[in-house]
Homo-oligomer: A and B are copies of this chain.
């Protein structure tokens, strides 16, 4: 999800990610899915979209999973697949469960910051909203 800006000084257009993205938000989403049952990258891609509302770049997802294994939050093993290429199946670890818990806690704080901004916005633009 990207959108385009126009530079005011030289007129060139440039691209940026859509506003509101939480850095590495996909990681607790992956961990929550894996806490229910082990899975592999391609399947997680579909579940992330349908169950978590997260459209992810598949290349990024595979790199993220390898990094999460480096971090000790998941571990992986190859599993045979009769109806297609073999799969690298990921399982959540105790450390992964602990990070998931701390991530939910951090997101509570993020949520508070969002609400603080939205409340301030509502208060500042109350009259304009009333007139609409």
Contact = CB atoms under 8 A, between A and B. Distances in A.
B72 A124 contact: no
Count the copies: 2
Nearest to A110: B20
21 contacts: A5-B71, A7-B71, A8-B72, A9-B70, A18-B106, A19-B24, A19-B102, A20-B22, A20-B23, A21-B22, A22-B22, A22-B114, A35-B124, A35-B125, A52-B113, A52-B116, A53-B116, A104-B117, A111-B114, A111-B115, A114-B114
Interface of A: 5, 7-9, 17-25, 28-29, 32, 35-36, 51-54, 70-72, 100, 102-104, 106-118, 120-121, 124-125
Contacts of A113: 22, 25, 52-54
B7 A70 contact: yes
Contacts of A71: 5, 7-8
A19 B107 CA distance: 8
A21 B28 CA distance: 13
A125 B115 CA distance: 25
Given A52-B113, A52-B116, A103 B32 contact: no
Contacts of A106: 18-20
A117 B29 contact: yes
